[in-house]
Amino acid sequence: MSLPFLPFALPDVGEEEVDEVADTLRSGWLTTGPKVKRFEKAFGEFLGGGLECLAVNSATSGLHLALEALGIGSDHEVITSTLTFTASAEIARYLGADVRLVDIDPATLNLDIDQVRKKITKRTGAIIPVHYGGLACEMDDLLDLAQQNDIKVVEDAAHALPTTWRKCLVGTLDSDAAVFSFYANKSMTTGEGGMVVTRDPQVAQRIKVMRLHGIDVDAFDRFTSDKPSWYYEVVAPGFKYNMTDIAGAIGIQQLAKLPGFLERRRHLAARYMEGLRNLPLRLPADAPAGDTHAWHLFVVRLLDEAPTDRDQVIQHLSDCGIGTSVHYVPLHRQPYWRDSYELVPEMYPNADFAYQRMLTLPLYTRMTDQDQDRVINALHSVLG
Ligand SMILES: *Cc1c(COP(=O)(O)O)cnc(C)c1O
């Protein structure tokens, strides 16, 4: 009898989410309303308070809104890692800004700060660090560099819930904004969704207006104004990026489970570290002592002494009914980015080297230890 297929990621949604969504559906209020408000409040409390949390329909929307609110436009260049999902970069193009991709630090797979430094010009408007896989970037050096050059920092925190840098949660650091994703395979989900977090009330206000058609609901006081309740003012050509209460309902229950999700992810990551340590694999870097790795992704790289190549390992695992992925085909190899900016792999030696040897192993909360043993055993049989 063959074993069931083991996917590389699966959402973990239970009866609590079903009940919360049913409550929303029965309430008659489906779009942005009380559930989104509760979710934003709970998210801010999870991060420790004192922050503005703005729910949106995806992290991509959130990144777009954050850059827009910070004034990024066609005069600017935006720097991000080549080893990321295209969303981290495309949002700069939405605003007419140019993208400058940088190579990674092979130790962490995060963007290399020295490479960022070399790409800074008078036009650099923002840096978008990506906390790859759930491991924080070197934020002290990055924030110093940005501050010295008067550059905004928007963290792509899609993998970083919860991640800490020097014991502070990503979302509470001194960047201009951090943006989380609740896409189906992220550490918590709302189906589709995202959250922008910022300390800057003006940035928050602009995002509030722009996420819903440029309508300024706070432009006048609805309660003391003599304007009728149907009245509103459009102050900019905004976007349709608001989160629905259906998604917000899922988010409320997922957030409550997040600490338990992290425990399970940590347990599985530790078991992989132990079970794979004698194989010709480079295992992922853990967070520094005292810090939290979100373990969104568990990415291994084949060492030169491995008896086979990455594609054959993926094929073998697939033959064993095990799903894997590759994060990511680096942007410098993607036709749009490659052709627009005349990029060649030699410009990104570290990311390119890693890309050719990397694969992402299954890691999700509903995976049992026995499921994981199948992955470990299959890797031993192809690499041992
Ligand atoms: C998932 C992801 C995004 C986009 O998130 P959405 O919520 O799907 O828009 C952006 N950046 C990175 C690194 C991601 O992994």
Residues 302-343 have pLDDT tens digits of 999 999 999 999 999 999 999 999 999 999 999 999 999 999
Residues 6 or more apart from 100 whose CB is under 8 A from it? 77, 78, 79, 80, 119, 124
Ligand 1 atom nearest to CA at 156: 11
CA 273 from centre of chain: 23
Ligand 1 pocket list (CB less than 6 A): 58-60, 84-85, 87-88, 130, 156, 158-159, 181, 183, 194
Residues 6 or more apart from 243 whose CB is under 8 A from it? 32, 36, 39, 55, 56, 57, 190, 193, 194, 251
Residues tagged active-site: 186
Cis peptide upstream of residue 280 (ω within 30 degrees of 0): no
Q: Whose CA is nearest to atom 8 of ligand 1?
A: 183
**Assigned CATH for 15-255:** 3.40.640.10
Residues 57-114 pLDDT 10s: 999 999 999 999 999 999 999 999 999 999 999 999 999 999 999 999 999 999 999 9
What share of the chain has pLDDT > 90, as a percent?
Answer: 95
**How high is the mean pLDDT of the chain?**
96
Q: Hey, which CATH number is domain 258-383, 1.10.287.110, 3.90.1150.10, 1.10.10.1100, 3.40.50.2000?
A: 3.90.1150.10
Residues 165-190 pLDDT 10s: 999 999 999 999 999 999 999 999 99
Write down the domain spans for the chain.
Answer: 15-255, 258-383
The answer to whether the beta carbons of residues 147 and 173 sit under 8 Å apart is no
pTM of the model: 0.97
d(CA 320, ligand 1 centre) in Å:
29
In terms of C-beta density within 10 A (0-12 exposed, 13-18 middle, 19 or more buried), how is residue 171 classed? buried
Residue in 56, 57, 78, 88 to alter for ligand 1 test, most ligand atoms within 8 A of Cβ? 88
Same-fold call for 15-255 versus 258-383: no
